[in-house]
């Protein structure tokens, strides 16, 4: 792509054809070439065209707004199924919470990316099988494999959403990183929507209470539940139609929180030694320790996805390198603790799931750390760091499939 851009630099027609045939790679490669092309009239024009940002919010067409409203209503209706059909909420929500909005987001990206019919069939075939399977599992309050399947199923659906986001070229690693960035932007936008919704909820209930109407139950059962179900859908629509709303906020958040999390993690490790807490014998502490590990890993991956937009080694990469190294230590402690518990008290579904997840995270963190070290020492480009994450995403998908579908069957629904 880079050579083709240089070859046709003075041929506007060919450049336009090249851009229309593959917009994302064109924009990415042009951005790396532009510093040396600055001053060329056509290159300056293309730079303005590709990176022009309007200050106005784009609400889309009337048809898009109508589809957004319909989709949001469908999500809210799915969330209300237990109330409409007298289904036990404790049965429905743990098994089906991912089906409330994720398949609708998949449909949005399938439409947006002109996804081929064969990919749509595979994605929704897996969704249908998952929906039937998870709801066919026996009702139990003591089955660890059921709980594990319910926890991992949204992760499986999240990976399927990534397949719809990437589009027809599933091997495009840059699109996979774009998917991680989208998740970061979506978290920011959805959080803002929920904060605004919370303020509106408080004001609405307070105003009605002043005139003698107690609307709390009605509001939460109908308005709030529809709003919660619609929030990620509206957030996705806004981030895709108005990327300028958050595409500068997310990198700032990543740069602020990476060093803060690094400091917190180092202090926390020393605090563990001082407090005498023992992840080897304290099960609850080990669970919290693993949740901390997953959260820090998510911050690393999101930060790497943001830093991969540039090819320069920066201070941020040094922070990410140190954070990855410290996280490997945390992972090593968690992994040794679960191995100790298996050796002492035997293997259980929970221990097996945690062991497998910790091993995958450790391998991925080591790969990321190696690439970060090569990047900060000038031996490779920053984009290779992102590639080490993108290549590993299908392995997480395979693991979620194993936990969701094979654990309950092979381990006797224990």
Residues counted in the chain = 414
Instruction: Compare 345 and 27 and report the one with higher pLDDT.
Output: 345
Q: What percent of the chain has pLDDT over 90?
A: 39
Query: Which tokens sit at 136?
Result: 């066919």
Quick: pLDDT tens for 333-388. Answer: 889 999 998 998 888 899 999 999 999 999 999 998 998 888 888 777 767 777 78
- 361 token code pair: 């995270």
Q: What is d(CA 297, CA 383) in angstroms, rounded to the nearest whole number?
A: 18
Output the average pLDDT for the chain.
86
**pLDDT of 3 strictly over 60:** yes
For the ranges 32-46, 134-148, 182-196, the lowest mean pLDDT is seen at 32-46
Q: What are phi and psi of 291, to 5 degrees?
A: -65, -40
3-state secondary structure of 80: coil
Please give the full DSSP string across 280-291, using - where no structure is assigned: TT-HHHHHHHHH
- Return the DSSP state at 411: T
Rounded CA-CA distance 315/321 in Å is 10
End-to-end CA distance of the chain: 53
Q: pTM, whole model, 2 decimals?
A: 0.83
Q: Are 33 and 6 in contact (CB under 8 A)?
A: yes
Mean pLDDT lowest for which of 57-66, 71-80, 111-120, 326-335?
57-66
Whether residue 194 is predicted with pLDDT greater than 90 in this model: the reply is: yes
pLDDT at 381: 72
Contact call for residues 58 and 242 (beta carbons, < 8 A) = yes
The string of DSSP letters for 200-237 reads HHHHHHHHHHHTT---HHHIIIIIIHHHHHHHHHHHHH
pLDDT 10s digits, 270-324 = 888 887 777 787 778 878 878 888 888 888 887 877 766 655 557 778 888 899 9
Q: Answer whether 169's CB lies under 8 Å from 130's CB.
A: no
pLDDT greater than 70 at residue 50 = yes
- From the centroid of its chain, how far is CA 187? 8
Q: Residue 82 above 90 pLDDT?
A: yes
For 260, the token pair is 């803060």
How far out from the chain centre does Cα 109 lie? 15
pLDDT above 70 (res 56): no
In angstroms, the CA 20 to CA 27 distance is: 11
For 60, the token pair is 């889309």
Residues 6 or more apart from 298 whose CB is under 8 A from it? none
CA–centroid distance for 230 within its chain: 17
């Amino acid at each position: 792509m880079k050579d083709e851009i240089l070859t046709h630099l003075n041929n506007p027609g060919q450049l336009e054809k090249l851009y229309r045939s593959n917009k994302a790679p064109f924009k990415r490669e042009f951005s790396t070439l532009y510093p040396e092309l600055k001053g060329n009239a056509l290159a300056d024009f293309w730079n303005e065209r590709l990176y022009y940002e309007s200050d106005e919010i784009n609400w889309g067409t009337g048809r898009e707004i109508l589809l957004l409203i319909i989709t949001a209503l469908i999500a809210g209706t799915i969330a209300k199924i237990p109330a409409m059909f007298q289904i036990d909420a404790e049965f429905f929500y743990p098994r089906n919470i991912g089906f409330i909005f994720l398949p609708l987001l998949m449909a949005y990206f399938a439409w947006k990316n002109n996804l081929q019919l064969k990919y749509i069939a595979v994605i929704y075939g897996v969704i249908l099988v998952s929906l039937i399977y998870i709801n066919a599992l026996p009702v139990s309050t003591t089955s660890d494999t059921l709980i594990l399947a319910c926890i991992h199923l949204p992760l499986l659906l999240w990976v399927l959403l990534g397949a719809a986001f990437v589009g027809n070229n599933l091997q495009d690693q840059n699109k996979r990183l774009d998917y991680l960035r989208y998740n970061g932007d979506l978290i920011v936008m959805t959080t803002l929507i929920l904060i605004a919704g919370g303020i509106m909820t408080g004001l609405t209930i307070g105003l009605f209470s002043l005139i003698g109407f107690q609307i709390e139950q009605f509001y939460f059962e109908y308005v709030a539940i529809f709003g919660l179900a619609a929030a990620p859908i509206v957030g996705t629509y806004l981030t895709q139609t108005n990327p300028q709303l958050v595409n500068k906020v997310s990198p700032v958040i990543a740069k602020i929180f990476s060093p803060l999390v690094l400091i917190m993690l180092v202090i926390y490790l020393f605090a563990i030694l001082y407090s005498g807490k023992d992840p080897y014998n304290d099960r609850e502490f080990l669970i919290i320790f693993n949740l901390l590990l997953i959260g820090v890993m998510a911050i690393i991956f999101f930060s790497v996805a943001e830093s991969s937009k540039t090819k320069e080694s920066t201070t941020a990469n040094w922070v990410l390198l140190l954070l990855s190294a410290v996280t490997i230590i945390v992972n090593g402690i968690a992994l040794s603790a679960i191995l100790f518990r298996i050796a002492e008290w035997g293997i259980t579904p929970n221990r097996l799931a945690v062991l497998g997840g910790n091993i995958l995270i450790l391998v991925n963190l080591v790969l990321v750390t190696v690439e970060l070290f090569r990047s900060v020492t000038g031996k490779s480009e920053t984009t290779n760091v992102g590639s080490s994450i993108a290549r590993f995403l299908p392995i997480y998908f395979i693991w979620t499939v194993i936990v969701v579908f094979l654990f309950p069957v092979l381990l006797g629904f224990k």
